[in-house]
Chain A
């Protein structure tokens, strides 16, 4: 019963977020009422790292357009610049060339509208799991009782109930990663970047969490940019799969996934569209992976 109440509250929370973003566009008469088709735009992005005298061309001539409320997955071989792309969108690093805009405004530095589930869990080792999950709420000045309640609700949702008082060093890799995911979901940012969030999880937990992530996303409809090395995961979750290539890192092509929602993650592999896309992308991905290890 208590959980039910929390579910409802969370529903309200996400609908407030939806309402506030809708309100923002409604206030501007020239903006269309429907979600913007070019919400997150990367134009002609290049990023060169200079480390110890060597220049690494991590990304070059990269273009990507993502509509508001879209779930987009990025696949590509290791080292092709996926994390770099997310870091750029998050405003943690600046592109060497090109511009990134979100809702028409260029990205300048970090921004609370963008949530980022990093590849490493990056939990604060001196805080308990609950205090880690509630950290963004604490930063925003949410009262203790409320943030405790919300943290417990999210921990319950991903099977971490009862571990609120454990320190990260006392948790398994998969548990820490779940903590890492929900501490972004807890404050419901309109744009969520996820870098191989299910990487350290076993196959079963992975599917359960994919399913959970989709149902959470159906409620909130935030714009998601999700990196994975698992093509199956990429197709199952996405509205659009972006294939990245290497040497130099760039976007090779985008495929729309025409599978209706809500989806049944457990059965999706039977879907003919899934099989078609899988075959089609697999060949190109395979070629890029070979190129990456050459």
Chain B
């Protein structure tokens, strides 16, 4: 009875792949054939035109300069924000008085809509790279800060007690129990931060700048070059997917202990 042709079998990699391919091809076909009839090319572009403009971008040396600048801002914002967030998270998780004192202020700072900061950023940092780095870093900082804090706070007290009985010093409990135990939270934070860092950078470039992918996108859009603008968006999408995919691969490697050795085992109940 299980030998029925598995067209809609969710567990068959082939069936799923074929389904995805069909979906992508039909959407593209509908878009391509309907362009100019069903939807206005001015607003929605056309797959072939978008592909052509992506191709053009990829042959333009100016594109790589923009990519380099955006990548640089992204990397710096991510590293600075991530490092500061983890450091503050660790510090406040250990220093409970300071954590209580700082809590409302941190909540308030995190509640500032980052986009509202943009005009001030020009005042503070000028229109160079530092304003974008700062915007990305503030977004990453709070994610990393709150994740690290929760991670260290959710460490099982029993594990700490056992280590203490076995003779661990305070420092050993911190490095050998608390940090590893919080590492899955920290990792989740690092993954969650990736798109936020990119948003920060693109947003910054959007506001004021003369280089970067965000600037390029803005230039296309203000020239009503819809296909080129959509092409840029797709390039950004691909970059983001690549980063996320890399982060997931790294996560699977480093955090393998969480999953109980493979498919489905994590869902099984353990005594």
Contact = CB atoms under 8 A, between A and B. Distances in A.
Interface of A: 90, 92, 110, 112, 114-116, 118, 120, 122, 124-127, 135-136, 138-140, 166-170, 172-173, 183-184, 187, 200
Contacts of B168: 139
B260 A135 contact: no
B163 A135 contact: yes
Given A92-B165, A112-B167, A114-B165, A126 B181 contact: yes
Nearest to B158: A122
Given A140-B167, A169-B260, A122 B270 contact: no
A19 to B, nearest CB: 20
Nearest to A109: B164
B167 A125 contact: no
A200 B158 CA distance: 19
Contact of B271 (A92, A114, A136, A173): A173
Interface in B91-135: none
Contacts of A120: 158
Interface residues of B, number: 28
A139 B169 CA distance: 8
A167 B257 contact: yes
Contacts of B177: 124
B94 to A, nearest CB: 19
B8 to A, nearest CB: 32
Contact of B167 (A126, A136, A168, A170): A136
B164 A126 contact: no
A294 B6 CA distance: 57
B158 A118 contact: yes
Interface in B152-188: 156, 158-159, 161-169, 172, 176-177, 180-181, 183
What is the interface of chain B mostly: helix, strand, loop, or mixed? helix
B261 interface: yes
A126 B165 contact: no
Nearest to A183: B166
B165 A167 contact: no
B258 interface: yes
B180 A169 contact: no
A170 B260 contact: yes
B257 A126 contact: yes
Contacts of B176: 135, 138-139
A169 B270 contact: yes
A191 to B, nearest CB: 11
B270 A139 contact: no
A1 to B, nearest CB: 31
A186 to B, nearest CB: 10
Contacts of B164: 92, 110
8 contacts: A92-B161, A124-B177, A135-B166, A138-B176, A139-B172, A169-B257, A169-B261, A169-B270
Given A139-B168, A200-B271, A125 B258 contact: yes
B258 A110 contact: no
Given A124-B159, A124-B177, A139-B172, A116 B271 contact: no
B258 A139 contact: no
B9 interface: no
B260 A187 contact: no
B259 interface: yes
B162 A122 contact: yes
Contacts of B270: 169, 173
Q: Which of A140, A167, A187 has the most B CB atoms < 10 Å from its CB?
A: A167
A125 B161 CA distance: 15
B258 A170 contact: no
A187 B183 contact: no
Given A124-B177, A126-B183, A139-B169, 15 more contacts: A90-B165, A110-B164, A114-B165, A124-B159, A126-B180, A126-B181, A127-B180, A127-B257, A135-B166, A136-B167, A139-B176, A140-B167, A169-B258, A172-B271, A184-B166
Contacts of B257: 125-127, 167-169
Contacts of A170: 260-261, 265
A16 B266 CA distance: 44
A122 B159 contact: yes
Contacts of A125: 257-258
A126 B265 CA distance: 16
B180 A167 contact: no
Contacts of A187: 166
B259 A169 contact: yes
Contact of A167 (B163, B166, B183, B261): B261
Contacts of B183: 126
A90 B176 CA distance: 21
A115 B167 CA distance: 10
A118 B162 contact: yes
A139 B159 contact: no
